[in-house]
Amino acid sequence: ILDLDGISTHIKIQPTMYGIFFEDINFAADGGIYAELIKNRSFEFDEPLMGWKQQNSRILSHNLDSGVLTIYSDDSKTNKNYARITVNNDKSYILENEGFRGIGIHQNTQYDFSFDLENVSGNISAVNASLIDENGMVISKVPILIKGIGWQKYTAVFSPSRTVEKARLQITFTGNGVVNMDMISLFPQDTWKGRKGGLRKDLVQKLYDLQPGFLRFPGGCIVEGRTLNERYQWKKTIGNVADREHLINKWSSGFAHRPTPDYYQSFGLGFYEYFQLSEDLGAEPVPILSCGMACQFNTGELVHLEELNPYVQDALDLIEFANGDTNTKWGKLRADMGHPKAFNLKFVGVGNEQWGEDYIERYKVFEKAIHSKYPEIKIISGSGPSPDGEFFDYGWKELKKLNAQIVDEHYYNSPEWFTKNAGRYDDYDRSGPKVFAGEYAAQSVGVVKPDNKNNWQTALSEAAFMTGLERNADVVAMTSYAPLFAHADGWQWTPDLIWFNNLQSYATPNYYVQQLFSNNKGTDLIKISENGNPVKGQHQLFASAVQDRNKGETIIKVVNTDSQGKSVEINPGSRQIGNKLNKITLTASKLSAENNFQTENIKPVEEILALKKGKFLVDIPANSFVILKLK
């Protein structure tokens, strides 16, 4: 029997209770949600012709009979490189881009193609651009006339006749002459909210459907960088897209088993776009900033305390960029980019997964500076990579002494760990900092091993664990699964919440667990107990309950990790409930079951049942997560 407490606990579920964590890992940004289809569009990768091919040429940059491509640099620019193409003897010179593991092209969608070109000399009066399939057959073709001299932007629209997952872009130059080219770009017109140069619609829709309370960005380890020089610097990610300086992605080397040397950050998805995305999703923006420590799993390079000021200033300037009025330097830049209204930033994270004395010393400097100027901003501090880590307890002890506001905990562990730890926060100090479970996921094979699966076992164990997060909503203020996205042909880390290829995406069982919690988070916690005890694994049952004051609903979440179904009696006690029960069940045929691009077999199924007054019996199937909504 599960008893609901008649008396409200007076504990509010924070609107930020269930959020999302976005990191550019697994091609999540470039090649993923950022809808640009051309890889290395402005020749800025360390190997400037990576992603590009001259037809019939095995060695790039080599003199071909029909023409030659040379990379030139303009050191006065942030994006220095451009390509000089010389076409000889009235022949055709062909340049191809492979996209991000191919270019996904949908029939009946239009594609904006553009490039910057300077007509230097001679006579190249037109270029022909084509989308071609894996066999070289043309899917769509556009001729573009070259007029005048000097740098100009040229545009055209492709209307493809077929859907192709791994198309390529081919540009053919004919004539006798020299042109310079830069920013060769291809975007679907059908982006999220129809924004030019915007985000991939199907992927953002999946985020929107989660109704996330916050968006934590941009990482993760990419915030820290392998070296300090490679850290994420938000100021380099705003302003004109073509001027944003590229950076090799920390995950390009990832782990030894998944090297991805062609993984760069173009920052087309930069801080302005992250704020805009947060706003679109109705989520609080939660930017995480470098605290002057490079990734401690890599170089662990440190900024001396006396030299920390520019890092701290970046944090202060970011708050001004998000919230400052349009007369301020950074607020004006935000307005110039199209958003005069403040983004209403409330949280800032200082460091990602940092630990030890070095972190605490740096955190103190940030905290003092941020709270002296912006006392209303809530600061999120880190506790290191894992609760089992050597420095975890040290970090918590020190952060408590410093009255830290929110501490970010990360745990990647086995499904067994998650079910065993459903009571993790039951004994947390209620007078200390709030908890942000900022990254967590159950890993089927082993921690940080390749080929971890997003199977039902992992999702079910996360659901069991999440009842514990919810039961402790007085101390747990924010939670988010990680990582969010993975490209099926370009990942470095498993498991991940949403998988995609160039055309499609699918939601994992873990996604549906997140969605069910988030869409049913309620407003107030209700105590739910079995013989007066929290339900955290006795008889392999886990449960939590909330009230939604806005919708007038009592919502019970029950997880059964047993291979036997159970008939559970719910005692609403003195709670007022109506005569309707919405029962939503998420389960699978076996623990190893997964969703995939072809089918999402594991997804919530809803039924509406009649309810009598008083206690009632409900079937909780074997290995299932069930939501009971009483109106």
Please list the active-site residues. 353
Ramachandran bin of 86, using left for φ above 0, alpha for ψ from -120 to 50, beta for the remaining angles = beta
C-beta of 212 vs 220, nearer to ligand AHR: 220
Torsion of CA 317, 323, 329, 333, to 10 degrees: 100
One of 2, 13, 17, 25 touching ligand AHR (CB under 6 A): 25
- Comparing CB distances to ligand AHR, the nearer of 354 and 520 is 354
- Smallest distance, ligand AHR to C-beta of residue 298, A: 11
* Least distance CB 343 / ligand AHR (angstroms): 24
Taking the complex as a whole, the smallest distance from the CB of residue 358 to ligand AHR amounts, in Å, to: 17
Instruction: Please list every residue from 370 through 429 that binds ligand AHR, using CB under 6 A.
Output: 385, 410
Question: In the beta sheet, which residues pair with residue 533?
Answer: 530
In the structure encoding, which two tokens stand for residue 161, read together? 């006749």
Q: What are phi and psi of 358, to 5 degrees?
A: -60, -40
Q: Judged by CB under 6 A, which of 317, 353, 408, 553 binds ligand AHR?
A: 353
CA distance 623 to 541: 10
Which one, 221 or 293, has the nearer CB to ligand AHR? 221
Residue 28 or 68: the one with the smaller Cβ distance to ligand AHR is 28
The C-alpha atoms of residue 568 and residue 529 are separated, in whole angstroms, by: 12
Q: Which residue(s) pair with 506 in the sheet?
A: 499
DSSP for 258-306 reads S--TT-EE--SS-HHHHHHHHHHHT-EEEEEE--SB--TTTT--B--GG
Pick one of 182, 317, 408, 439: the residue that binds ligand AHR (CB under 6 A): 439
Residue with tokens 């199907």: 202
Give one DSSP letter per residue of 403-424, joined into a string.
T-SEEEEEEEE-HHHHHHTTTT
Closest separation in Å from C-beta 573 to ligand AHR: 42
Site for ligand AHR in 201-260 (CB under 6 A): 219-221
Tell whether residue 271 is a contact of ligand AHR (CB under 6 A): no
Closer Cβ to ligand AHR, 278 or 296, answer by number: 296
DSSP 46: S
Q: Which two tokens stand for residue 531?
A: 């013989």
Q: Which of 86, 352, 443, 520 binds ligand AHR (CB under 6 A)?
A: 352
Q: How far is the CB of 351 from ligand AHR (least distance, A)?
A: 10
Report in angstroms how near the CB of residue 223 gets to ligand AHR at its nearest. 8
CA atoms within 13 A on the CB side of 68: 8
Q: Give me the 486-505 binding string for ligand AHR, x by CB under 6 A, dash otherwise.
A: -------x------------
The Cα 225–Cα 248 span in angstroms is 10
Residue nearest to ligand AHR (CB): 220
Beta carbons of 26 and 251 less than 8 angstroms apart:
yes
| Interface size with ligand AHR, residues (CB under 6 A) | 13
CA dihedral 4, 7, 11, 12 (to 10 degrees): 80
Q: Which of 23, 96, 182, 594 lies at the binding interface for ligand AHR (CB under 6 A)? A: 23
CB atoms within 10 A of CB 93: 23
Residue 561: both structure tokens together: 């990790």
Helices (H) and strands (E) counted in the chain, each on its own, are: 10, 33
Among 215, 399, 482, 525, binds ligand AHR (CB under 6 A): 482
Closer to ligand AHR by Cβ: residue 320 or 496: 496
Minimum CB separation from ligand AHR for residue 507, in Å? 18
Cβ closest to ligand AHR, residue 220 vs residue 572: 220
Nearer to ligand AHR, 170 or 492 (CB): 492
Q: Is the bond into 218 cis (omega within 30 degrees of 0)?
A: yes
How near is the Cβ of 100 to ligand AHR at its closest, in Å?
Answer: 19
Strand partners, 626: 558, 585
Which residues ranging from 496 to 555 are in contact with ligand AHR (CB under 6 A)? Answer: none
Give the binding site for ligand AHR (CB under 6 A). Answer: 23, 25, 219-221, 352-353, 385, 410, 439, 482-483, 493
